[in-house]
Structures are given as C-alpha cells and as structure tokens.
Amino acid sequence: MDAFIAMIEGFSNILIPIFALFGIGGIVSGFRLGSIVRGSGAWKTTDAQLVEARLITIESKARVGVARVKIGENYQVAVRYAYKVDGREYVGDRIKVGKHAADVGTRSEGEKQAKKLRAASKLTVYYDPKNPEMAALQLGGDNSLILGNLIIGVIMLFAALAMLVYFKPYPFLN
C-alpha cells in the first residue's frame, strides 16, 4: 500500500490538474444538460418521417477466470428521423434530450416499440428554434445522466483537492 501511495505522490503534480479538469468538465456538462432539458419546454414542433427504428441488444459480460461469460442482455430502441425547419432538412436520432436510445425492459417490448414507430405515418419532433439540429421525439431528458455527470464531477474535484492537501506537490502551497 505504501508503494501505491508513493507512486500516486510521484504523479500527483500531473494527476491533480487532470482530476480537477475532469471534475469541472463533469459539473459543467451536468449543468449544461440540465439547462437544455429545462429549456426544451419552449421547443417548437414539426412533422418528421421515420428513417429507421431498430432494436439494439447490449450483452452484459463478466470475467470468470480467463473467460468472459454472458450474464444478461439489455435492450434499447434506436431511431433516426428526417425533419425540415425553415426549408432546411435535418436528421435526428434522439428519443429524449441527451438520450439517443430508449431503454426497454424486454426484447418483445422493444420489438413492439420499434414496430409501433415504423407503423406511424408521421412523427412529431420537438426542436430547439435557436439550434434546429437539436431535436428529440419526447420532451424532457434523462435526470440520471444529469445527476451522474454532477456526482462524478464533484468526486473528481474532491479527489483533486484531497491530493492537493495530502501531497502538497506545489511549493507555493507549503
């Protein structure tokens, strides 16, 4: 353990700014995404044509010895749609703000949602009038993504501060 702490201390003058930058980035990203989600209530709507709706299967694996073993599957519905704003055509792929695919519980539920999207003659898309490239099929966003960015940012900043106090790698801090 002492060797590990000595190694961290040796790299602390590099790790502290890296941790601080990632921390600030996470916090800024969380607040920015939160601001976009809150502002999406004022977005305008337009009609869209579905380009693609498909089910994505994500396998979860774990390492058992030297082998990787499948332990489960998660499913998401991904979409692409085309829409026009002021005569200009855009292609979007967001289900919600900050979320490119919709998590679904089971394969059959995902297939049902993808089929429902494919059967729709037209879709309603919400878009940001200030930035029409930013669009989504549903208003709102994923609060867990916002919260996750904020939490990781705070943890990284706290780690940078702890290293700064513990190792005192910069002479002007002594």
Q: What is the pLDDT of residues 10-51, one digit of tens each?
A: 788 899 999 999 999 999 999 998 888 888 889 999 999 999
User: What's the token pair of residue 117?
Assistant: 């999207």
State the chain's mean pLDDT as an integer: 89
Higher-pLDDT residue of 173 and 73 is 73
Query: pLDDT grade, residue 85 (50/70/90)?
Result: very high
Q: pLDDT value at position 167? A: 85
Q: pTM for the whole thing?
A: 0.72
Residues linked to residue 2 through DSSP beta bridges, in sequence order: none
Residues of the chain with pLDDT > 70, as a percent, come to 97
Secondary structure class of 170 (helix, strand, coil): coil
**Distance between CA atoms of 48 and 74, rounded to whole angstroms?**
28
User: What's the token pair of residue 72?
Assistant: 């489960």
* Cα-only R_g, the chain: 22
Secondary structure class of 66 (helix, strand, coil): coil
